[in-house]
Chains A and B, each alone.
Chain A
Amino acid sequence: MSDVRVAGTGLTPFGNSPERTGRDLFAEASITAFEASGVPRDDVEAVLYGNFMGELSEHQGHQGPLMAEAAGVQAPATRYESACASSGTAVREAVKRIRNGENDVLLVGGAERMTNLGTAGATEALAIAADDLWEVRAGVTFPGAYALMAQAYFDRFGGEHEDLAHIAVKNHANALTNEKAQYQSAIEVSDVLEAPPVSEPLGLYDACPISDGAAALVLTSESYAKEHDLEAPVAITGTGQGGDRMALHDREHLARSPAAREAGEEAYADAGVDAGDVDLAEVHDCFTIAEVLALEALDLEPIGEGISAARDGRTTADGETPINLSGGLKAKGHPVGATGASQIAEVTDLLAGEHPNSEHVDGATTGVAHNAGGTVASATVHVLEVTDR
């Protein structure tokens, strides 16, 4: 089985650019990724592309071929949709194809255009990741669904809003050096606690922003990387995916993410590592509580203890296991279809020593990317390792 090398990564700035089309964003990310990889576009055998709300935000379905064209690639192209885990699932499919020998070179990524919808429109578009009949029609929003989980977590395990605030503060601090991040501004715990409520107990500073942006990755087989003498020291060595019931009220756990646990266990086993080997992770912190649930699902924190990880410094940049050194979805931004691929790009750059925050993880060899869809009815986890230097 071939290792899957990350030959090049490309990200647009994440943020507020309502005038930019999805095709413009993905073109930019792919240009950066191709330049970084040294791989010619002609060698790309397929494009795997993640996107969630294109029909609503751009009146554009069938985005696969459109985005291949935008990237200057003539190859079969498919769009992957799993809500906010759309490009995580695209990466997973790419890894499987390269491993089974079907392909040697793939362009993988995603993009989302969101800010042109406005806050109410984007809230409505994001809400369709929930069950339309039984959740959306009862008034459940995306923040509302996570708030239901946050309240359940507090009731079951303890903790309070102030604990969550430390997660937001940490992720903003990490984004200060990330020039692609939507927010490069420090915040204080008091800012989080005093922010307007969105869906109690969560407020404005517990939530990731609405963002436009794209991410692209050039992935190759190990043999292609060697043959072409590519500088590609980081490999995706483990992949996993988990699923859960669509509606929160149908789940066994309201304060845990079994789909992410399933995905994590599969990815760890696939890579032959365990949680103790993980030096850093990018986890899906669309809301502060989501980071807590992710840490516990990935076994990076015991169940019921993830709530204190940021407050007690275990997950800060200089902690034992830095989490979301990119700034996370919270401060980097969350253009949903781009997010999963962007996390793989950040982990790759961190491990390769090419990230502004690499200094905090000097000598790190193992990173994890966790991408969640909806209220974690879908989850993908990938393990990345430095294979040679």
Chain B
Amino acid sequence: MSDAESVADAGFDEWLDAAEDGKAYALECANGHGSLPPRRVCPDCGSTDLEEVALPETGAVQTFTITHVPTPAFEEDAPYATAIADFGSVGITGQVIGVEPGDVETGMTVELEITVSETTGERVIGFQPV
């Protein structure tokens, strides 16, 4: 894994850069199907005409878990809360930050905030409750 880490993942790393600048986006086809990059084709309808659209400011937690037994990449971070939150036409998986894991609830309103793994220093998608 260490060799690969120096190489950007086209689409994904650019998305993290944009999210850090407060400009996170989804890809959308003309039918309004949202998806996350990197992607050239809409997985719902096969459209190849995808446009970047800004994500809403906030999302809503759909479900969550508190992980105590992590992979080695998150050894120092555990326990941590992971959630799936809906942001307009897309769902995103991220770690809930800024609150105790036990205080996370379904329906909670969150903002995107890119954080870093305490274990590896790598960037991680975070959700900050508002």
Contact = CB atoms under 8 A, between A and B. Distances in A.
Interface of A: 119-121, 123-124, 127, 133-141, 143-144, 147-152, 155, 196-202, 245, 247-251, 254
Query: Which among B36, B43, B63, B95 has the highest number of chain A CB atoms within 10 Å?
Result: B63
B92 A120 contact: no
Contact of B77 (A120, A139, A247): A139
B43 A141 contact: no
Given A138-B125, A139-B77, A249 B66 contact: no
A148 B67 contact: no
12 contacts: A123-B69, A134-B12, A135-B93, A136-B71, A141-B70, A148-B65, A155-B106, A197-B66, A200-B65, A202-B65, A248-B93, A250-B90
Contacts of B84: 148, 248-249, 254
Contacts of B74: 139
Given A137-B124, A148-B82, A124 B73 contact: yes
Contact of B93 (A124, A138, A147, A198): A138
Given A133-B9, A254-B62, A124 B71 contact: yes
Contact of B68 (A136, A148, A200, A245): A200
B80 interface: yes
Contacts of A119: 69
Contacts of A198: 67-69
B67 A141 contact: yes
A57 B73 CA distance: 18
B128 interface: no
A40 to B, nearest CB: 46
B129 interface: no
A140 B68 CA distance: 11
